[in-house]
A = this chain, B = another copy of it.
Amino acid sequence: MTEPAIHPVLLCGGSGTRLWPLSRKSYPKQFAPLTGDQSLFQQSALRLSGPGYAAPTVVTGSDFRFIVLEQLAGCGLTPARTLIEPAPRNTGPAILAAALDLRARVGDVLMLVAPSDHVIPDAESFRAAVAAAVPAARAGALVTFGIAPDRAETGYGWLELDSPLPPDAPAAPQPLLRFVEKPDAATAQTMLAEGRYLWNAGIFLFSTATIVDAFAAHAPQLMAGAQAAVEGAEADLGFTRLAPEPWAGLEDISVDYAVMERAPGLSVVPFRGKWSDLGGWEAVWRESGPDAEGMVTHGDAVAIDCQDSLLRAEADSQRLVGIGLRDIVAIAMPDAVLVAHKDHAQEVKQAVAALKAAGAPQAEAFPRDHRPWGWFESLALGPRFQVKRIVVHPGAALSLQSHHHRAEHWVVVEGTARVTIGEKVQLVPENESVFIPLGERHRLENPGKLPLTLIEVQTGAYLGEDDIVRHEDVYARGQGAKG
Contact = CB atoms under 8 A, between A and B. Distances in A.
Interface in A267-289: none
A330 B337 contact: yes
A455 B345 contact: no
B459 A413 contact: yes
Contacts of A337: 313, 318-321, 330, 332, 337
Contacts of A319: 335-337, 355, 360, 362
Given A323-B347, A336-B318, A379 B385 contact: no
B413 A411 contact: no
A387 interface: yes
Contacts of A383: 414
A381 interface: yes
A336 B304 CA distance: 15
Contacts of A431: 407, 409, 459
A297 to B, nearest CB: 12
Contacts of A324: 340-341, 343-345, 347
A5 to B, nearest CB: 46
A302 interface: yes
Interface string A358-385: 0010100000000000000001111111
A355 B305 contact: no
A345 B344 CA distance: 23
Interface residues of A, number: 62
A305 B344 contact: yes
Contacts of A174: none
Q: Is the interface of A mostly helix, strand, loop or mixed?
A: strand
Contacts of A320: 336-337, 339
A401 to B, nearest CB: 19
A379 B379 contact: yes
Interface string A290-330: 00000000001010110000010100011111111110101
Interface in A411-435: 411, 413-414, 430-433, 435
Most central of A313, A338, A384 by chain B CB within 10 Å: A338
Given A379-B379, A384-B414, A457-B413, A335 B318 contact: yes
Given A323-B341, A339-B330, A385 B409 contact: no
Contacts of A350: 304
Contact of A382 (B341, B355, B453): B453
Nearest to A329: B323
A52 interface: no
A324 B360 CA distance: 21
Contacts of A459: 413, 430-431
A311 B431 CA distance: 42
20 contacts: A304-B347, A304-B350, A305-B347, A311-B339, A317-B381, A319-B337, A321-B336, A321-B337, A323-B347, A324-B343, A324-B345, A324-B347, A325-B340, A326-B341, A328-B328, A328-B339, A332-B337, A385-B414, A387-B455, A409-B433
Given A300-B360, A323-B345, 6 more contacts: A302-B355, A311-B339, A318-B336, A318-B337, A320-B339, A384-B414
Interface of A: 21, 300, 302, 304-305, 311, 313, 317-326, 328, 330, 332, 334-341, 343-345, 347-348, 350-351, 354-355, 360, 362, 379-385, 387, 389, 407, 409, 411, 413-414, 430-433, 435, 453, 455, 457, 459
Interface pairs A-B: 3 shortest CB-CB: A324-B344, A324-B341, A323-B340
